[in-house]
Amino acid sequence: MRILLLSDIHANLEALEACMAAAPAYDLVANLGDVVGYGASPNEVIDRSRELGKIFVRGNHDKAATGLLELDDFNPLAAAAAIWTREQLTPEHFEWLHSLPQGPLPLEGALNVHLVHGSPNDEDMYVVSIGDALVPLLAEPTPLTFFGHTHLQGGFFANGHNADGFRPEYKTVGKGESFSFQLKPSTRYMINPGSVGQPRDGDWRAAFALFDTEAQVVHFHRTPYNLKAAQDRIFAANLPPRLATRLAAGR
Ligand code: ZN
């Protein structure tokens, strides 16, 4: 089975469409949350995401936009975007977003895989370093967990000898590219497909991944998208301009 992994779309319709145009053949889509927040196309992105599949875990921005998370812990930019998003959502989309399940969620059809937004221990925790990853990596009932939240493509592994992080290696900064990562037996992984709509690893290109369960290979992808159109929508919506400019830097 080939599973397309999307995370942290953040209401960026242009980035989502570019990912779908660049995506290789897949059998199902798994979405790791933060469908909305920051970007200016929340309703359009929810419609498109729901067309693509039924497997979702909720993200902190999905919770914030639907009143499930206090905005006290959000920085001012994120809070402004959450309030704006809440005002935009159609009642039906609000209801749908509000009812998304909390991770970790077992991935049906691909045994031994869990999906979560942050950490398996805490859906809102950022897993940035091997130090953050080690406890959940070793404690998870499944050897493979896909997560999002950090907007950093790559992940962490642990086996009997070693534990470390890894990042895909790309050759260009502006073209569509992929990087294949072979999973090894007797090794545990936490893998982040990267953020579709607001990458923060210094690479502005939209990120996603495809997991081939038979070959046990994760194919990481980056694809350029219509950045200016996404930025113009943010400016036109009177969202904080920084939410548009940061997209160009991938930060
Ligand atoms: Zn996010």
Domain spans, the chain: 2-249
How far does residue 212's CA lie from ligand 1's centre (Å)? 24
How far does residue 149's CA lie from ligand 1's centre (Å)? 5
CB 79 within 8 A of CB 108: no
171 DSSP 8-state letter: S
How far does residue 199's CA lie from ligand 1's centre (Å)? 9
CA distance 217 to 183: 6
Helices (H), the chain: 13-22, 42-52, 60-65, 76-88, 91-98, 130-139, 227-236, 242-249
pLDDT at 108: 77
CB 39 within 8 A of CB 65: no
CA distance 156 to 45: 29
Residue 131: CB partners within 8 Å, gap ≥ 6? none
How far does residue 59's CA lie from ligand 1's centre (Å)? 7
How far does residue 32's CA lie from ligand 1's centre (Å)? 9
How far does residue 243's CA lie from ligand 1's centre (Å)? 13
What are the pLDDT tens digits along the chain (251 aa)? Answer: 999 999 999 999 999 999 999 999 999 999 999 999 999 999 999 999 999 999 999 999 999 999 999 999 899 999 999 999 999 999 999 999 999 999 999 987 767 899 999 999 999 999 999 999 999 999 888 899 999 999 999 999 999 889 999 999 999 999 999 999 999 999 999 999 999 999 999 999 999 999 999 999 999 999 999 999 999 999 999 999 999 999 999 99
CB 23 within 8 A of CB 210: yes
pLDDT at 110: 66
Smallest Cα–Cα separation from 64: which of 75, 54, 55?
A: 75
How far does residue 186's CA lie from ligand 1's centre (Å)? 30
How far does residue 152's CA lie from ligand 1's centre (Å)? 10
> pLDDT tens, 126-179?
999 999 999 999 988 889 999 999 999 999 999 988 999 999 999 999 999 999
pLDDT at 214: 94
pLDDT at 232: 98
CA distance 144 to 118: 14
How far does residue 194's CA lie from ligand 1's centre (Å)? 10
Question: In CATH, what number does 2-249 get?
Answer: 3.60.21.10
CA distance 208 to 108: 20
How far does residue 70's CA lie from ligand 1's centre (Å)? 16
Q: How many C-beta atoms lie closer than 10 Å to residue 192's C-beta?
A: 27
How far does residue 195's CA lie from ligand 1's centre (Å)? 7
Instruction: Please name the residue that has the structure tokens 């569509």.
Output: 176
How far does residue 116's CA lie from ligand 1's centre (Å)? 12
Smallest Cα–Cα separation from 191: which of 105, 133, 121?
A: 133
- What strands lie across the sheet with 217-223, from one edge to the other? 55-56, 28-31, 2-6, 206-212, 217-223, 177-182
pLDDT at 106: 93
3-state helix, strand, coil in the chain (%, to 5): 30, 20, 45
CA distance 225 to 174: 10
pLDDT at 127: 98
How far does residue 150's CA lie from ligand 1's centre (Å)? 7
